[in-house]
Chain A
Amino acid sequence: MNKKNLWLSGPYLVWIVGFILLPLVTIFYYGFTTAQGGFTFANIINAVTDSANLKAIGLTVLLAALATAICLLLGYPLALCLSRIGLKWQKAVIFLFILPMWMNFMLQMVAINVILEDNGIINTILTALGLEKVHIANTFGAILIGMVYDYFPFMLLPLYNTVSRLDGDLINASKDLGAGPLRTFFKITFPLSLPGLVSGATMVFIPAISDFAIAEMLGGGKIMLVGNIVEMSFTKGQYYQGSGLAILLMAFVIISSLITGEDGENEGGAMLP
């Protein structure tokens, strides 16, 4: 870019300072100080030693990992199928999966609750069929369903982008050289789709690990994730403890992006079909 036009980035610089740097500095300030103003590690230590926090950390990582795994198990076969049908159909199916994202998030969660509720749609159908009711509403399972529903498109799109661009010649070559379908899959298709897989997994795992809204709306307030404790600390004015936990969450996010970072980068920009 022309050096003279650098000032055009001014508005964004204001944005970056006001809405990215300042909040970060504030979080770190509160995270490493006591209410009296002295430097301390106590907030960070408390974040990983308090029994309620520990339980929340365990639940959060477990939920995020399960949601990622389920999205992957649902998304990968779908992406493979998609890559084998006509382009028009591919676009139509992808469109259908993106469609719910245009709906208001609250509405999605309320709808899921209505479906899962004790007298909800699933249980009404089960009762009509003379079967036992299932209790899913306000449980760990309900949150998991909500996460999978909400984050699935973020898994599908990168996977689809990678898989649909696989070089068909490579697969044909593998078959010509006598490899069976299984061997072709494990030696050619799977390794080549790894970048999309990693990118998809990152894009599900990272928002899932810092989520609090899904847990709040589908967990009935009975399950506390790290995000919920952060939210609770800040609304109760306990900025120091809340910031300690928020820093811990950031560390989780940074670590998981470092692990997956290099492969993930390629596909992140190619999200939309």
Chain B
Amino acid sequence: MKKTGFVRKNGKRLAALVCALLLVLAGCASLTGCSSAEKLYLFNYGDYIDPQVYDLFEAETGIRVVYDEYAAPEDMYAKFTSGSVTYDLICTSDYMLEKLIGEDRLAPINKDAIATLSNISRRQWDATAAFDPELQYTVPHFWGTLGILYNTKTVTAEEVTSWDVLFDGSHAGNIVMPNSERDAFFVALTKLGYDANTTDPTQLQAASDLLKKQKADVQAYLLDEAARVKVEAENADLAVIYNGEAYLAMENNEDLAFAVPEDGTCIWLDSFAIPVDAPNPAYAEKFLEFLCREEIAAMNFEYIYYSTPNQAVIDGLDEEIAANAAIFPADSIHDKASVLRYLGAEAEALYSQLWKNVKS
């Protein structure tokens, strides 16, 4: 009774209070609302840094890493550009970085302040130049190559020296293609002898026709882990997949092997960059310095098993791992590989339309 009386008397005030509370909550929901001095806001792919690294960093510097995760670069772009959240540091892929650089969304990194950058191999910087020509905006995190994971019981090493094996009908119904338009088109364009970054509509149409024809032989279009599990469980003989996943698959099933076809491959590079509107770029630089240290980069490498760009880590590895072609592709492959570039909005739309046609 007492309570009802109270509510009745103070109804309006209570209502105002509730509204105010809701507003505060809404404000806090976006990270900027409650930013405090000692936090570094990081936006990264899921599971891409060993969680212990954050603890070590906080113990050393007192800076807490608050991280958001995303699955696809396009999701990252949508959230990043919506402006609802500002980050100090982002990690994403080559073509997306090129797009962000082109849109003036990234700030140059003060590389002199980061002594440990000298651990990054020369070769990685050369590859980085494909999308960051002056090497001012990005710091490499991991890289990898596209290749074919195959079951040695049903596929010979001879067959996978060329992408043709995916198109000649010899393994109909047992092929897993990547469920990503750029990667799928890369395979078709390379098989046709075209440039991986072409925007020529005739060439793209030809690649699209080839993929459409191939579809009858494809068991499924899957990415990363889903593709790996398919081959691991021997429900498919071949999968076009990135090397880190292939390495895991080979650990789990000893009949599997990984090959990068000799007619060319593409390499991807995931790198860090600092947004122009980063509230605390200095924290981001501190974190980059930390990440590039040999022991920290080694922790991350052992967590992910993608190819690390950190030469100090590579030099310190067991010979067996360093010689594993799935993790560290041979130099000859690296030299022939293309980096997928950002092709502009018009070409992107064409890609999407053609990919939709392939899949429908």
Residues of chain A touching chain B, judged by Cβ–Cβ distance below 8 Å, are 4-5, 7, 10-11, 14, 51-53, 55-56, 117-120, 135, 137-138, 220-222, 224, 229, 232-233, 235-238
Q: Are A224 and B360 in contact (CB under 8 A)?
A: yes
* A-B pairs, 7 with minimum CB distance: A220-B220, A221-B221, A52-B360, A224-B360, A7-B15, A221-B179, A52-B356
CB of B16 to closest CB in A, whole Å: 10
Report if A119-B234 is in contact (Cβ < 8 Å); known contacts: A7-B11, A14-B22, A235-B72: yes
> What residues of B have a CB within 8 angstroms of the CB of A232 in the complex?
352, 356
What chain A residues lie within 8 Å of B14 (beta carbons)? 7
The answer on a CB contact under 8 Å between B235 and A137 is yes
Residues of B within 8 A of A (CB): 8, 11-12, 14-15, 18-19, 22, 72, 74-75, 77-78, 173, 179, 215, 218-222, 233-236, 348-349, 352-353, 356-357, 359-360
Whose C-beta in chain B lies nearest to the C-beta of A59?
B360
Q: How far is the CA of A7 from the CA of B173 in the complex (A)?
A: 61
Main secondary structure of the interface of B (DSSP, over half): helix
User: With A221-B179, A222-B221 given, can you name 14 additional A-B contacts, CB distance below 8 Å?
Assistant: A10-B15, A10-B19, A11-B22, A53-B360, A118-B235, A118-B236, A137-B220, A138-B220, A221-B220, A221-B221, A222-B215, A232-B352, A237-B78, A237-B348
Contact at A51–B357, with CB atoms within 8 Å? yes
Can you list 10 A-B contacts (CB < 8 A)? A53-B360, A119-B235, A120-B235, A221-B220, A221-B221, A221-B222, A222-B215, A222-B359, A235-B74, A236-B74
Contacts A235-B72, A235-B74; A220 near B348 (Cβ below 8 A): no
A220 to B229: give the CA distance in the assembly, Å.
13
- Asked, given contacts A51-B357, A221-B220, whether A235 binds B15 with beta carbons under 8 Å apart, the answer is no
> How far is A117 from B219 in the complex, measured between Cα atoms in Å?
11
Check A135–B173 contact: CB distance below 8 A.
Answer: yes
The contact of B11 among A4, A53, A221, by CB within 8 Å, is A4
How far, in whole Å, are A232 and B222 apart by their CA atoms in the complex?
Answer: 14
Query: What distance in Å separates the Cβ of A157 from its nearest Cβ neighbour in chain B?
Result: 33
- Chain A nearest CB from B289 CB (Å) reads 34
Contact call B222/A220, Cβ cutoff below 8 A: yes
Chain B nearest Cβ from A245, distance in angstroms? 11
In the bound complex, how far is the Cα of B14 from the Cα of A5, in angstroms?
A: 11
The reply to whether B219 and A220 contact each other, CB–CB distance below 8 Å, is: yes
CA distance A222 to B173 in the complex (A): 12
CA distance A236 to B348 in the complex (A): 9
Measured CB to CB, the nearest residue on chain B to A119 is B235
Please name all residues of chain A whose beta carbon is closer than 8 Å to the beta carbon of B11 when the two chains form the complex. 4-5, 7
Alpha-carbon separation in the docked complex, A123 to B218 (Å)? 19
Chain B residues lying within 8 Å of A4, measured Cβ to Cβ, are: 8, 11
How many angstroms from the CA of A221 to the CA of B220 in the assembled complex?
6
Residue of A118, A119, A120 ringed by the most chain B CB atoms within 10 A: A118
In the complex, what's the smallest C-beta–C-beta distance from A85 to chain B, in angstroms?
41
A5 neighbours in B (Cβ, 8 Å) = 11
Residue contact B179 to A238, C-beta cutoff 8 Å: no
Residues of B within 8 A of A235 (CB): 72, 74-75
Complex Cα distance, B41 from A181, in Å, reads: 72
Q: Which residues of B contact A120 (CB under 8 A)?
A: 235
**CA separation between A25 and B215, bound complex, in Å?**
38
Which residue, of B14, B173, B179, B235, has the highest number of chain A Cβ atoms within 10 A? B235
In whole angstroms, how far apart are the Cα atoms of A77 and B348 in the complex? 52
> Do the beta carbons of A224 and B348 come within 8 Å of each other?
no
